[in-house]
Amino acid sequence: MAKTRYVYGFDEPATGGRELLGGKGVGLAEMTQLGVPVPAGFTITTDACRAYMVARDLPDGLEDEVDAHVRRLEELTGKRFGSDDDPLLVSVRSGAAVSMPGMMDTILNLGLNDAAAEGLAARTGNARFAFDSYRRLIQMFGEVVEGIDGHRFESALGALKQQRDVQQDTDLSADDLRELVETFKAIYREEAGADFAADARAQLLRAVRAVFESWDTPRAQVYRRAHDIPEDLGTAVNVVQMVFGNKGERSGTGVAFTRDPSTGEAGLYGEFLSDAQGEDVVAGIRTPQPMEAMRTSLPKAFEQLISTMRRLEEHYRDMQDIEFTVEDEQLYLLQTRAAKRTAAAALKAAVSMVDEGLITREEAVNRIDPAQLDQLLHPMIDPNAGLTVAAKGLNASPGAASGGIVFDADSAVERAKAGPVVLVRWETTPDDIHGMIAAQGILTVHGGMTSHAAVVARGMGKPCVAGCDDLTIGADTATIGGTTLREGDVITIDGGTGRVFIGEVPLVAPQINEDFETILGWADAQRRLKVRANADNPEDAVRAREFGAQGIGLCRTEHMFFGEERLPVMQEMILADTEAGRRSALDRLLPFQQSDFEGIFEAMAGLPVTIRLLDPPLHEFLPAEADAVDEKMARRIRALHESNPMLGTRGCRLGLLYPEIYEMQIRAIARAARAVQERTGDAPLVEVMHPLVGFREELARLRDLTETVWAQEAPEIEHLVGTMIEVPRAALRADEIAEVADFFSFGTNDLTQTTLAFSRDDAEGKFLTAYLQEGVLERNPFEVIDIDGVGDLMRIAVERGRGAKPELKLGICGEHGGEPRSVAFCHELGLDYVSCSPFRVPLARLAAAQAALKEAGSGAYVAAGG
Ligand code: PEP
Ligand code: MG
Q: How far apart are CA 31 and CA 531, in angstroms?
A: 42
Q: Three-state SS across 493-544?
A: EECCCCEEEECCCCEECCCCCHHHHHHHHHHHHHCCCEEEEECCCHHHHHHH
Indicate if ligand 1 lies below 6 Å from the C-beta of 749: yes
Nearest C-alpha to atom 6 of ligand 1 is from which residue?
A: 747
Q: Does ligand 1 have an atom closer than 6 angstroms to the CB of 780?
A: no
Which of the following is catalytic: 464, 813, 826, 836? Answer: 813
Can you tell me the distance from the alpha carbon of 106 to that of 211, in angstroms, rounded to the nearest whole number?
A: 7
List Cα–Cα distances, 634 to 379, 631, 643, in angstroms. Answer: 43, 5, 17
Query: pLDDT tens digit string along 735-753?
Result: 999 999 999 999 999 999 9
Quote the crossing angle between the two packed helices 150-164 and 174-192, to the nearest 10°: 150
Cα 540 to averaged position of ligand 2 atoms, centre (Å) = 20
Neighbours of 828 (CB within 10 A): 14
Residue 807 has pLDDT above 80, yes or no: yes
Say what the pLDDT of residue 768 is: 85
Residue 836 known to be catalytic: no
Task: Determine the distance separating the centroid of ligand 2 and the alpha carbon of 231, expressed in angstroms.
Answer: 34
How many Å lie between the centroid of ligand 1 and the Cα of residue 646?
Answer: 11
pLDDT, mean of residues 11-29: 90
pLDDT of residue 413: 93
Q: Relative to the alpha carbon of 815, which ligand is closest?
A: 1
| Alpha-carbon span 216 to 104, nearest angstrom | 9
pLDDT digits (tens, 9 = 90+) for 509-526: 666 789 999 999 999 999
Neighbours of 247 (CB within 10 A): 22
Please give the distance, rounded to the nearest whole angstrom, from the Cα atom of residue 698 to the centre of ligand 2.
16
Asked whether 305 and 256 are in contact (CB, 8 A), the reply is yes
Mutation test residue for ligand 1: of 561, 726, 745, the one with most atoms within 8 Å of CB: 726
For 194-208, give the DSSP string: SPPP--HHHHHHHHH
Q: Residue 331 — pLDDT band, cuts 50, 70, 90?
A: very high
Counting atoms of ligand 1 from 1, which one is nearest the CA of 558?
9
Tell which residue, 740, 735, 733, 736, has the closest CA to residue 801: 735
Nearest atom of ligand 1 to the alpha carbon of 691: 6
77-81, 132-136, 416-420, 429-433 — which is least confidently predicted?
429-433
DSSP assignment letter at 383: T
Cβ of residue 747 lying under 6 Å from some atom of ligand 1: yes
- Check if 615 has its Cβ closer than 6 Å to any atom of ligand 1: yes
| Ligand 1 within 6 A of CB of 725 | no
* Options 69, 452, 719, 827, the catalytic residue: 452
Task: Give the per-residue pLDDT at 97.
Answer: 87
- Ligand 1 atom 8: residue of nearest CA: 749
49 CA → ligand 1 middle, Å: 45
Give the closest residue to 743 by CA, choosing from 599, 836, 557, 611: 611
64-117 residue pLDDT tens: 999 999 999 999 999 999 999 889 999 999 988 887 766 667 899 999 999 999
DSSP SS3 for 171: helix
Query: Residue 383: what pLDDT?
Result: 63
- Using CB atoms within 10 Å of the CB of residue 784, give its burial: 0 to 12 exposed, 13 to 18 middle, 19+ buried: middle
Residue nearest to atom 4 of ligand 1 (CA): 747
Return the best residue to mutate from 744, 813, 815, 831 for the ligand 1 pocket (most ligand atoms within 8 A of CB). Answer: 813
Cβ(559) – ligand 1 distance below 6 Å: no
Check pocket membership of 556 for ligand 1, CB cut-off 6 A: yes
Is there an atom of ligand 1 within 6 Å of 554 CB? yes
pLDDT in tens, 551-572: 999 999 987 888 788 999 999 9
Q: Which residue(s) pair with 547 in the sheet?
A: none
Q: Indicate the top mutation candidate among 532, 552, 554 to test ligand 1's pocket, ranked by most ligand atoms within 8 A of CB.
A: 554
CA-nearest residue for atom 10, ligand 1, is: 750
Residue of 410, 415, 476, 479 whose CA lies nearest to 443: 479
Q: Is residue 862 pLDDT above 60, yes or no?
A: no
Q: For ligand 1, is residue 730 a contact (CB within 6 Å)?
A: no
- Residue ID of nearest Cα to ligand 1 atom 9: 556
Closest among 426, 768, 713, 452 to 593, alpha carbons compared: 713
Tens digits of residue pLDDT in 752-766? 999 999 988 788 767
User: What average pLDDT does the chain have?
Assistant: 91
Q: Has residue 193 got a pLDDT over 50?
A: yes
Q: What is the DSSP letter of 67?
A: H
Residue 452 a catalytic site member = yes
* DSSP code of residue 558: G
155 CB contacts (<8 Å, ≥6 apart)?
A: none
DSSP string, 72-83: HHHHHHS-EET-
Question: Using alpha carbons only, how large is the chain's radius of gyration in Å?
Answer: 32
Residue 214 CA to residue 234 CA, distance in Å, equals: 10
pTM over 0.85: no
617-625's contacts with Cβ under 8 Å and 24+ in sequence apart are 617/642, 617/645, 617/646, 617/648, 617/649, 617/650, 617/654, 618/574, 618/649, 618/654, 619/645, 620/558, 621/561, 621/567, 621/570, 621/571, 621/574, 622/571, 622/574
- For 466, list phi and psi in degrees, rounded to 5: -115, 170
Q: Which of residues 264 and 609 earns the better pLDDT score?
A: 609
User: How far, in Å, is the centroid of ligand 2 from the Cα of 587?
Assistant: 26
Question: Model confidence at 861, in pLDDT bands (50, 70, 90)?
Answer: very low
> Residue 48 — pLDDT band, cuts 50, 70, 90?
very high
CA 564 to chain centre: 40
In angstroms, the CA 446 to CA 428 distance is 9
Instruction: Among the bound ligands, name the one nearest to the CA of residue 782.
Output: 1
Tell me the CA–centroid distance for residue 752 and ligand 1, in Å: 10
Please check the confidence at residue 322 and state whether its pLDDT lies above 60: yes
Give CA 809 to chain center in angstroms. 33
Q: What is the DSSP letter of 865?
A: B
234 Rama sector, left if φ>0, alpha if ψ -120 to 50, beta otherwise: left
Going from the Cα of 814 to the center of ligand 1, the distance in angstroms, rounded, reads: 5
Residues 669, 611 contacting (CB under 8 angstroms): yes
Please enumerate, as own/partner, the contacts of 155-164 that have beta carbons within 8 Å and a separation of 24 or more. 156/180, 156/183, 156/184, 156/187
- Whether 814 lines ligand 1, by a CB cut-off of 6 Å, is yes
How many Å apart are CA 449 and CA 467, to the nearest integer? 8
Residue 796 Cα, ligand 2 centroid: separation in angstroms? 19
Stretch 812-819: mean pLDDT:
92
End-to-end CA distance of the chain: 31
Q: Which residues have CB under 8 Å from 807's CB, separation 6+?
A: none
* Ligand 1 neighbour 813 (Cβ under 6 A): yes
Ligand 1 atom 3: the closest Cα is on which residue? 747
Question: Which ligand gives the minimal distance to the CA of 614?
Answer: 1
